[in-house]
Structure 1
């Protein structure tokens, strides 16, 4: 007897079906949780063979998705490790020029900040265009014109730093600094060796500089102990929160509300969509040029992206923007 249509369909796994999605995820997870990373040659073979099986072998697409996910994840891991200084490299001093990327964390004795090195011929080949985390062990460097620390977000500097590959403590259950560096795309870490020789190359510019100006404005306008919470809620700037503040927030279950997260971005997106829809209702002539549902959707995406930029494009905000 001829095979039924349902049996024939079961042999052909859809290219974009649940089975392929699950197998792709399984291949990625197998590489992520493996104790070692697949060699580059094997990863390329898995990627090519998996892509071929996924596209040309209807009955074995799940197998192709498994190989494709494993190969893609392994190559992605090698690409991330290639951005870092070699693990066997010894600490060395480098004369660097670049820009302060994010809000510097000012401590009592030092300042810690992310620094993007210029991508030009004057920089070391292994560091061109890379991002590093530096410590500035010179707390007394005030900006005479503004009475603040001279190191500002978005400013360009020329400095000498001693760099080493990302390393961390191997204590079980402790913070994994190497994993964090890989996730953030950090090539190395170190400290400024001669603070007195560092010099600013230009004023703060860009989104980081705007965020720092807004944080300072909030600090100047909001009185009392609550201003550090306003900075965290409005800009995702948690530098002012103390260890006691975090303990209290964890005890109350409110840590997810302080730093800008998906809920905040989703709320802003909903308000932006509602305002766009209201404008289209008040001005019906706009519907002749652009459909109201599409305008509301675009307003939601624009509002979410703008608020994610205010938060410095933290991972939870970027994830929410992509979902929206």
Structure 2
């Protein structure tokens, strides 16, 4: 009883903060749906949560803890039902298997990707009942026919694939995202592409603005300029995008709080100055209310123009709440504002919770507001009468402290999703944020405005040079060996522990908030000291990466950049992948590679890998199979191939997806869990066949 009494006393002290946990309760139900495997488990979770709520409602007393448990359980139930319902009603089931088709389709949207020399089209197949409602195809720029656009009807040949699942454990899951985006298949259009009915629609404003900016700005800066105005990053080269990520400046490319705030702030400033020119308006009209309303309309229009991505919508909602609070004379920039925005986003886009965009966006804003609400920080940052040098020093200190707090809050999220976290972003942002907010964006707005009368060229020239400076900062910071922290894939359970600890630190106010710090520190420490996997196998079995004394090596040295990046990031390795055939402990022919690996305990593991499509006679292959501890093939292994520990072939990978293996612990982690019934997972259709006498 003393414990419950102490809890009640503490919760009474924190009563102003209790409501901030409402999005956490809703999110717990959403996470449960993603983590649990099938409808029976989802239903069991909902029943359990409702049972907890009922027990809390029937328990004696009327304390705050009772109400918190009841509300949290109900919110978790609502969250699980919300994402379950959206997945059932609005999701797009994936194509069952790869298929080569000649397809007639109506174009729904076209998005140029100049950095990759292609166009990405969303299509609705016509008279093709066996195909998904929406497919996405890539068209090389040189093959784009005239008349391609929204509403056009085209005919072409393509090999359609189900949206790709993670290549290895911890990699990006495009299949889950595509399911909620309504994409059932992807492919590449093959020439000739015939236009049966050309488009009659004018390209959307966003597409016209993107093309106009790319035409006006020269060099690498064109992609950054287009992204700042439209949110479309298709014109940014891979090298520049990687430099922005490593330097901690990638948030500038995604239309979020910085951009929306700058646009709305500029609109309010201009409206106030224009209305103040009228004496009658200045004396009689509620200028702030009118300017806030105009700023709100500008913010909504900007959000629509840039594609209404989750960070933009979150920022727009937050800005509208701030404007409403200011109009009512309230202090609107609080954690309650952040919690309200999170609830709105989760209600309409519950699937966004498990993506890095939502997590990083709200984690950064929560960290900034929590720091701003701290009494000591608020006292240090408050305006006061002092000379300009102290004001500048204080402003730089506040900016640096804010950047460091944001970097620390984002570190576990970045390690979980990208297996790397920035360390110098706070220092890079000291230059990049003022440069973007006060130089680049105003110049770009002026350039667009003066383009209406044909005089925007000087402003575009200045914008290009300012963006060149921004890219120079990004590449300079990214080149530092201390720019990023690498780590292998983090386990979901450990990540959940870190996030709960982080929220505990940020959402409470009393000294008990620091109880959340040990889980965060322990979780991050476990990730940093974790040994990378010894062996990675992609879901198709074609690509294998092994850890060697000098780094990482890959089976097929002609693998593309996407495969190489996926394997490197999942292993927490930054460097070039060498060829397994070049390793001193490997013996490779055209068809096979035999490899001896040593784990930290000193045990020698013998691996046998197939590396061609040629059939291998049983007399040559059977003895090698018997000597190997692990055999890996992208084809079906015959039953007589029995390695000592593990045989990995097409049939096994069809059920498990990609694999990561730690030899010393004997652990095998899979992409797909047994019994996983989430609707975006393509079920294996492998048929059992009689044992083959050859591989």
TM-score (norm 2): 0.36
Match of 1:89 in 2: 96
Task: Decide which of 167, 177, 190 is 1:180's aligned counterpart.
Answer: 177
Task: Decide which of 175, 194, 199 is 2:196's aligned counterpart.
Answer: 199
Task: Report the alpha carbon displacement of residue 255 of structure 1 after superposing the two structures with TM.
Answer: 2.3
RMSD: 4.3
Q: 1:110 to 1:246 in 2, by over 3 A?
A: closer
Which structure: larger Rg?
A: 2
Match of 1:36 in 2: 36
- The residue matched to 1:199 in structure 2 has which SS? strand
Q: Does 1:230 align with 2:228?
A: no
Q: Does 1:169 align with 2:170?
A: no
- The residue matched to 1:172 in structure 2 has which SS? coil
Q: Does 1:65 align with 2:65?
A: no
Task: Report the alpha carbon displacement of residue 19 of structure 1 after superposing the two structures with TM.
Answer: 3.8
Q: 1:54 to 1:86 in 2, by over 3 A?
A: farther
Match of 1:22 in 2: 21
The C-alpha deviation readout for 1:90-116, integer Å capped at 9, x for no partner, is: 45656543411x52335767543334x
In the alignment, is the contact (CA less than 8 A) between 1:276 and 1:296 conserved in 2? yes
Write the distance in 2 (CA, Å) between the matches of 1:322 and 1:300: 13
In the alignment, is the contact (CA less than 8 A) between 2:119 and 2:144 conserved in 1? no
Write the distance in 2 (CA, Å) between the matches of 1:262 and 1:323: 9
Q: Does 1:99 align with 2:96?
A: no
Residue segments in structure 2 that go unaligned for 5+ positions in a row = 1-5, 320-695
Task: Report the alpha carbon displacement of residue 270 of structure 1 after superposing the two structures with TM.
Answer: 0.7
Q: Where do residues 198-217 of structure 1 align in structure 2 (5 Å cutoff)?
A: 198-205=195-202, 209-217=204-212
Q: Does 1:189 align with 2:188?
A: no
Match of 1:75 in 2: 81
In the alignment, is the contact (CA less than 8 A) between 1:165 and 1:187 conserved in 2? no
Match of 1:255 in 2: 250
Task: Decide which of 269, 273, 277 is 2:268's aligned counterpart.
Answer: 273
Write the distance in 2 (CA, Å) between the matches of 1:54 and 1:203: 61
Match of 1:220 in 2: 215
The C-alpha deviation readout for 1:193-233, integer Å capped at 9, x for no partner, is: 78534534523436xx2222222222333344433332222
Task: Report the alpha carbon displacement of residue 267 of structure 1 after superposing the two structures with TM.
Answer: 0.5
Write the distance in 1 (CA, Å) between the matches of 2:265 and 2:55: 42
The C-alpha deviation readout for 1:107-166, integer Å capped at 9, x for no partner, is: 767543334x49xx97859955xx5432336842343xxxxxx544x4543557765543
Q: Does 1:157 align with 2:153?
A: yes
In the alignment, is the contact (CA less than 8 A) between 1:85 and 1:187 conserved in 2? yes
Match of 2:602 in 1: none
The C-alpha deviation readout for 1:49-72, integer Å capped at 9, x for no partner, is: 789899999654323322322222
In the alignment, is the contact (CA less than 8 A) between 1:236 and 1:259 conserved in 2? yes
In the alignment, is the contact (CA less than 8 A) between 1:277 and 1:292 conserved in 2? yes
Q: 1:237 to 1:32 in 2, by over 3 A?
A: same
In the alignment, is the contact (CA less than 8 A) between 1:98 and 1:157 conserved in 2? yes
Q: 1:45 to 1:198 in 2, by over 3 A?
A: farther
Match of 2:259 in 1: 264
Write the distance in 1 (CA, Å) between the matches of 2:163 and 2:318: 32
Q: 1:271 to 1:123 in 2, by over 3 A?
A: farther
Write the distance in 2 (CA, Å) between the matches of 1:323 and 1:47: 30
Match of 1:135 in 2: 138
Write the distance in 1 (CA, Å) between the matches of 2:198 and 2:119: 19
